[in-house]
């Protein structure tokens, strides 16, 4: 599949691996792909984000939202709200765990695992994003997968990246409008 990736898309994947390594995570997650997308400049995906107002402080806001969600063990706000409906206060659980084990203990990022070396595996969410990017590209009639297809896949697959992007005005519909003009059929 990677032979179909453009240079920009490959750089997003490499950036995601670097984000995972930098955080000490044992696998590359969908959130790492989102963070790598934010790092892009001069590509179709970065153009779309800029067109939708995700620049400067808004990019930093996305990064902070990802960090806060990882602190909650990767739970999206919708998942936290659903648990609250059952009487489970995620903030209280996070506070208690961090009181005993330190800040970020629930993130799954093993910063203290410096001994671990080798390639990072791709978690299920990251794999699904990359597979979805292929389907998005094929649905658009594109022969190659660009970073714009990865960005679209991030908005299509339910979960933390899609929720954070939507909170910042980046939805599948808005991306299609920016990338392909209005009146286009849904991708993927």
- 43-85 pLDDT tens trace: 999 999 999 999 999 999 999 999 888 777 667 677 777 877 8
Token look-up 């059929």 returns 185
- Please name which of 159, 137, 169 lies closest in space to residue 50, comparing C-alpha atoms: 169
| Per-residue pLDDT at 136 exceeds 80 | yes
Q: What's the pLDDT at 62? A: 96
| Per-residue pLDDT at 1 exceeds 70 | no
Q: Taking residues 145-152, report their average pLDDT.
A: 97
Q: Taking residues 21-38, report their average pLDDT.
A: 92
Classify residue 50 as exposed, middle or buried by CB count within 10 Å of its CB (0-12, 13-18, 19+): middle
And the tokens for 171?
A: 């939805």
Q: Is 173 contained in some domain?
A: yes
| pLDDT tens figures, 82-111 | 877 888 876 677 667 656 766 655 555 544
Token look-up 């339910």 returns 158
Q: Is 98 contained in some domain?
A: no
Token look-up 């990359």 returns 130
Answer for the pair 32, 162: CB distance below 8 angstroms, yes or no.
no
Considering its fold, how many domains does the chain have in total?
A: 1
CATH code at 14? 1.10.1780.10
Answer for the pair 136, 149: CB distance below 8 angstroms, yes or no.
yes
Q: Is 88 contained in some domain?
A: no
Q: Is 17 contained in some domain?
A: yes
Q: Which domain covers residue 30, as residue numbers?
A: 2-71+123-180
pLDDT, averaged across the chain: 85
Q: What's the pLDDT at 51? A: 96
Can you tell me whether residue 25 is helix, strand or coil?
strand
| Per-residue pLDDT at 118 exceeds 70 | no
Q: Is 82 contained in some domain?
A: no
Q: Is 24 contained in some domain?
A: yes
- Convert 89-112 to b/e letters by CB count within 10 Å (16 or more is b): ebeebbeebeeeeeebebbbbeee
Q: Is 105 contained in some domain?
A: no
Q: What's the pLDDT at 141? A: 93
What is the distance, to the nearest Å, from the Cα of residue 188 to the centroid of all Cα atoms in its chain?
A: 17
| Per-residue pLDDT at 147 exceeds 60 | yes
Q: What's the pLDDT at 109? A: 52
């Amino acid at each position: 599949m990677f032979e179909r990736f453009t240079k920009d898309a490959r750089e997003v994947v490499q950036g995601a691996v670097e984000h995972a390594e930098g955080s000490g995570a044992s696998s590359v997650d969908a959130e790492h792909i989102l963070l790598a997308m934010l790092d892009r400049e001069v590509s179709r995906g970065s153009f779309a984000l800029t067109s939708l107002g995700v620049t400067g402080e808004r990019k930093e806001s996305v990064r902070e939202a990802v960090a806060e969600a990882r602190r909650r063990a990767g739970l999206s706000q919708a998942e936290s709200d659903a648990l609250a409906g059952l009487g489970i206060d995620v903030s209280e659980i996070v506070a208690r765990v961090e009181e005993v084990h330190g800040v970020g203990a629930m993130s799954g990022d093993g910063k203290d695992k410096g001994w671990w070396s080798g390639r990072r595996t791709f978690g299920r969410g990251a794999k699904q994003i990359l597979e979805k990017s292929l389907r998005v590209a094929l649905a658009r009639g594109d022969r190659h997968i660009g970073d714009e297809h990865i960005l679209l896949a991030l908005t299509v697959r339910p979960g933390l990246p899609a929720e954070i992007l939507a909170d910042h005005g980046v939805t599948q519909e808005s991306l299609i409008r920016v990338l392909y003009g209005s009146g286009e059929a849904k991708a993927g």
